[in-house]
Amino acid sequence: MGSMPAQPASETANLYEHLISTISTEKVCLETPSGQSFSYRHADECSGRLANLLVSCGVAPGDRVAAQVEKSPQAVFLYLACLRTGAVYLPLNTAFTQEETDYFLGDARPKVVICPPDRRNDVMALCHGHDIPHLFRLGGGENGDLMEKSQELSPAFRTVPVSPHDLAAILYSSGTTGKPKGAMLTHENLLSNAQTLVRAWHFTAADVLLHALPIFHVHGLFVALHCALMSGARTIFLPRFDAAQVCAQLSRATVFMGVPTYYTRLLALNEFGPDACGGMRIFISGSAPLLPDTFEQFRKRTGHAILERYGLTETLMNTSNPSDGQRVPGSVGLPLEGIELRIAGQNDREVATGEVGEIQVRGPNVFAGYWHRPDMSTACFTPDGFFHTGDLGRTDSAGYVYIVGRSKDLIISGGYNVYPKEVEDCIDRLEGVQESAVIGMPHPDFGEAVMAIVIPRPGSTIEPTAIRDRLQSSLANYKLPKLIVPAAELPRNAMGKVQKNRLREAHLSTWVEFVKKL
C-alpha cells in the first residue's frame, strides 16, 4: 500500500528558513490571552538574539540544547534559535521528576540547559554531575536570565547552513522494555512532514490556529506550530488546555488541534455548540485513539467531523483522514503524500486487505535512529527500509487505516505516552514489592489510564495509597497508577512472559467499579 510521490523539497535545508525568515513581517505570529502579540519580525529578531547567546556559550552545530520550560512564546523563539545555530533541540516535559531529568541529561549530554527559575538549584546539581557548562532560567514569559542576557545581543544572525540529514531535535520515546531512548529527527524529517501537512490540511496565511497543546512533544511543537509558521498563519497561544478558555476563543480561530481528551471535555460544557465554532474550518485529533462515540457526539453538537490522523515520535505524521472527503470514525485515514505504509505479517510480507498485521512505514518523515543506540536503530527497520511501528492495524477496501492495538503495550493517557516497564521498575524497587505488572485500562476522560497489579513479598502486605505516595517522587503525575490492586501471582505463558491480556480481562470488573466512583 503506498501514496502519491512527494513534491520536491526546497534546496534550503535548514528548517528555520521555511518557518520564519521568508515572512519576517509585522504580521502577528503569536498572541496570548493576556493581550501580548509577537510579529513574525519579532520572532526572527528574538530568535537571532538567542542564537547569538547560544553561540557565545560555545554551541556548535550538532550540540544539544535541553529545554525543560513552561510553555511560552519565548520558549518557541528558543526552539527557533536552536534551528538557526544548527544545534539539536531537546524538549523535556516540566512534569519530569529530578530522577527522570537526570537520566535525560546524562544520556543526551547537552551543552546548554534551560529550566524554570524555581528549579534552578535542582537542575544545577544535575548539570554539575554531568559536566554541563551552561544553565539558564526561563519563566512563563520574559523573566529569567536567558531573556535578560539575550537582550544585550544583536538580533542579526545568519542562519547556519545544514544538510537535510543533520539533526534538528531529539525527543525521548521508548517501548515497554529498557530506559527511554532518544529519537533523532533531522531537518529533512521535520521539513518534509510540515510541507506535506500544510498541503493536506490546506493551511494558508488566512488561518488562525488555536494552540492549547504542550510544546515538549511532536503534536504541539512540530505538527501544530510548524503548520502555522510555515503558512504564515496567526496562532492564539494558550498556556495550557482549559475547556472554558478554548470554547471562548474558538470564535476567533479557524483551526484547532487536540488530543481526544480535549474534545470530551469540550463536549461536557453546556455552552459548547455551533455558535462557538462559527468561524472554524477544521478540528484535528491525534496522539491517542478517538472513540467513534466522541466523533459522533461532536458532529451532532457542532456539525464538524473531527479529522483524525496517526503519527509517532519516530515518524511524525503518517496518515490522515482527508480535508476534502470522507472522514471515517474509528479510522486514522489514508497514507500522507510521499509516505508508504503497509500492514505486514510474518517475514514483513504485506497481508491482505482487512487482515491485521504490524503497521510499517517508509518515507522522508522517518527518523534517523536512536541516539547512541546503533543496534536498536538497525533492528527497528526491515531489510527494505520500512520502520517497525509496533502498532497493529488493518486497512479497508478504500485504503483507510485502522489501528487495532499496540504490540508493545504502550499506554496513551490523555495524549501522553506511558511506558509500562518504566512504571513497573519504579514499583518493583519499593520495599515489600516482589513484582508488578502495569496495564492500560479504558478511561472516559483520558482514553486510557494506568492500572498496576502488585505482588507482595512473602510476609509483606500491599497498601495501594502508600505505594502511590512513594511513586510521586519518581514519576510524572500522568504515569502514576490510578488504581493499584494487590494480587497473589501474575498469569504467565509457557515461556514465563506475563500475559497482560489476561490481566485486563481478570481485572476489568474491578476497574469498571473504580471508574464509576470517579
* pLDDT at residue 406, rounded to an integer: 66
Enumerate domains of the chain plus CATH numbers: 37-162 (3.40.50.980), 201-305 (3.40.50.980), 411-516 (3.30.300.30)
Mean pLDDT of the region 101-108: 96
- Is pLDDT of 26 > 50? yes
* pLDDT at residue 290, rounded to an integer: 85
More confident residue, 394 or 143: 394
Other beta carbons within 10 Å of 43:
22
Mean pLDDT of the region 312-337: 96
Task: Provide the edge-to-edge strand list for the sheet that holds 433-443.
Answer: 433-443, 447-456, 483-486
Q: What is the pLDDT of residues 73-96, one digit of tens each?
A: 999 999 999 999 999 999 999 989
Other beta carbons within 10 Å of 66:
26
* pLDDT at residue 293, rounded to an integer: 83
Q: What is the pLDDT of residues 145-162, one digit of tens each?
A: 999 999 999 999 999 999
Mean pLDDT of the region 23-38: 92
Asked if 382 contacts 348 with a C-beta cutoff of 8 angstroms, the reply is: yes
* pLDDT at residue 176, rounded to an integer: 42
Tell me the three cell numbers of residue 273. 455548540
Residues 173-209 as b or e (16 or more Cβ within 10 Å = b): bbbbeeebbbbbbbbbbbbbbbbbbbebbebeeebbb
314: left (phi over 0), alpha (psi -120 to 50) or beta: alpha
- Is pLDDT of 292 > 70? yes
More confident residue, 391 or 170: 170
pTM: 0.85
Find the range with the poorest average confidence among 145-154, 191-200, 353-362, 422-431: 422-431
* pLDDT at residue 1, rounded to an integer: 57
- Is pLDDT of 39 > 80? yes
Q: What is the pLDDT of residues 384-439, one digit of tens each?
A: 999 999 988 899 999 999 987 666 677 889 998 888 888 988 998 899 998 899 99
* pLDDT at residue 9, rounded to an integer: 42
Cα–Cα dist 39/424, whole Å: 46
Mean pLDDT of the region 504-516: 93
Asked if 20 contacts 44 with a C-beta cutoff of 8 angstroms, the reply is: yes
- Is pLDDT of 298 > 70? yes
* pLDDT at residue 104, rounded to an integer: 97
What percent of the chain has pLDDT above 70? Answer: 94
The overall average pLDDT reported for the chain is: 92
- Is pLDDT of 10 > 50? no
- Is pLDDT of 277 > 80? yes
Q: What is the pLDDT of residues 368-386, one digit of tens each?
A: 999 999 999 999 999 999 9
Asked if 444 contacts 515 with a C-beta cutoff of 8 angstroms, the reply is: yes
Tell me the three cell numbers of residue 498. 506475563
* pLDDT at residue 52, rounded to an integer: 98
Find the range with the poorest average confidence among 20-34, 106-120, 372-386: 20-34
Mean pLDDT of the region 288-295: 85
More confident residue, 126 or 493: 126
